[in-house]
Amino acid sequence: MTGKRVAGIRSAAVLGLAGIRLFNGAAGLLAPTLLIQRLDRDSEPNPAAVYAFRLFGIRTVLLGLDLLTSRGERLTQNLREGVLIHGSDTVTAAMLGLRGHLAPRTAALTTLISAVNTALAVTALTVDQEKT
């Protein structure tokens, strides 16, 4: 692969991951009740769930901003951490679905979103390592 193409692939993966993080984080921070109702339509969101969505929402926004502002080794480290963060999210979503704690459609969607995030982090990290 040419250096320009490698840089383009990495940039697209980083921007895609940052965009997803910013969107999902903002949704968790600003509209936790809406997200909770999508996960569990049968009951009112409890305050602990709202708190958790806001907690992870701000975390996710900050992670997205960090991707957009980091360069060099710092960006590489953020991507390494992203593989662990999103890999963990993917496994958690899948396990919740397999154990019946989420509706099948919701489990599939949350697992897919987390898996895409993991794939974007892995892609950006792998492409970065190929150029060296």
User: What is the reported pLDDT for 1?
Assistant: 56
User: What is the reported pLDDT for 18?
Assistant: 96
pLDDT digits (tens, 9 = 90+) for 35-60: 888 777 777 888 898 999 999 999 99
Measure the CA–CA gap between 39 and 93, rounded to whole angstroms.
11
Distances (CA, A) of 48 to 38, 126, 132: 16, 38, 46
Enter the pTM of the model. 0.84
User: What is the reported pLDDT for 132?
Assistant: 52
CB within 8 Å of 45: residues ≥ 6 apart: 32, 33, 36, 37
pLDDT digits (tens, 9 = 90+) for 15-25: 999 999 999 99
Residue 75: which pLDDT band, with cuts at 50, 70 and 90? very high
Instruction: Sketch the domain layout of the chain as residue ranges.
Output: 3-130
CB 16 within 8 A of CB 8: no
